[in-house]
Amino acid sequence: MTYRLLLGILVCVAAATSLQAQDANEPQDSLGWSHKFGMGLNITQSKYSNWVAGGEDTFAWQFSLLNADTLFQSTYDWANTLQFDYGQSRIGSADARKNADELMFESVFTYKVNIYVNPYVSFKLRTQVADGFQFEDTDAGVVKNKVSALFDPAYLTQAFGLGYTPYKDVNTRLGLAVKETISNDFAARYSDDPETPDEIETSRVEVGMQSVTTAKLPLSSTISYKGRLELFTDFSSTEDIDVNFDNIIEGKLNEMISVNLNVRLQYDNDVSSKRQLAQILSVGFSYIFW
């Protein structure tokens, strides 16, 4: 596993937005650490007994955890985020299958030289914790093929560039980046270089440009939107752009009960030539501890 950190000077061109939000000019309330920790559990269940119209019993659950620690100083900010999502679903008498599995850690260090535009350096790890399977219906029954495992694959991204914050909850970063894809048992699927047929690489390193835009916006007094758009293009193949677009709309019924719609779009030509799309609608319990 290799770690590389690019040094350079970039010019960031970011798009402003006319959404009503707090200006980034507003000073931080206090210096020092800011902590946020929250957990959520969504459950869906249906049960049938002598139901003439037909139907199968279903049970699904998803657990989410978010921990965010940010150090605010007069000359720099250091933000660290740990996010974990895992869930399973069961239909009828079939075995439970996972419907969510992601572990993500991101650290962003920003040096303050301007009100709106500031240099940054970042590190991100994205992987999973449980085995992943693809299921295929055959004449002999359902065949289960293992396609992923703990830290297999794992995605590391290190970047250096400039960030633009037009509003408190809207931020865009643009920088040089190194993206590493690491895999062992499934290297042929995730990290192999097709141009070297005699060798299966367990690590693929791509150097290119990365853009990350995050937004957290209120849609009403009880509904909010949180989005994250990540774009990456390799210098050796600039016509291909990796996309990770995560959208969450959350409606709060009260402090503990919420309704969530999560729509996620992914595209990585190294993994699949087609776009990947996931949509989850859930009602669950969530609580922010501090």
The pLDDT of residue 239 is 78
How much is the pLDDT for 225? 95
**The tokens of 172 are what?**
């865009």
- Closest-CA residue to 83 (of 24, 127, 21, 32): 127
pLDDT of residue 3: 34
Specify the pLDDT at position 53: 79
Residues in the chain where the model's pLDDT stays below 70: 1-29, 286-290
Query: pTM score, two decimals?
Result: 0.80
Residue 202: predicted pLDDT: 94
Task: Give me the pLDDT at residue 6, please.
Answer: 31
- Closest among 6, 14, 2 to 161, alpha carbons compared: 6
Neighbour-count burial for 164-192, b at 16+ CB within 10 Å, e otherwise: bbbbebbbbbbbbbbbbbbbeebbeebbb
Of 210, 235, 12, 63, nearest to 124 (Cα)? 210
Task: Find out whether 171 and 163 touch, Cβ atoms under 8 Å.
Answer: yes
Yes or no: say if 153 and 181 are a contact pair by the CB < 8 Å rule.
yes
We find that the CATH architecture of domain 34-47+56-288 is Beta Barrel (2.40)
238: tokens are 């600039």
Provide the pLDDT for residue 24.
40
Domain ranges of the chain: 34-47+56-288
**pLDDT for 165:** 87
Burial class (CB in 10 A: 0-12, 13-18, 19+), 160: buried
Res 289: pLDDT: 66
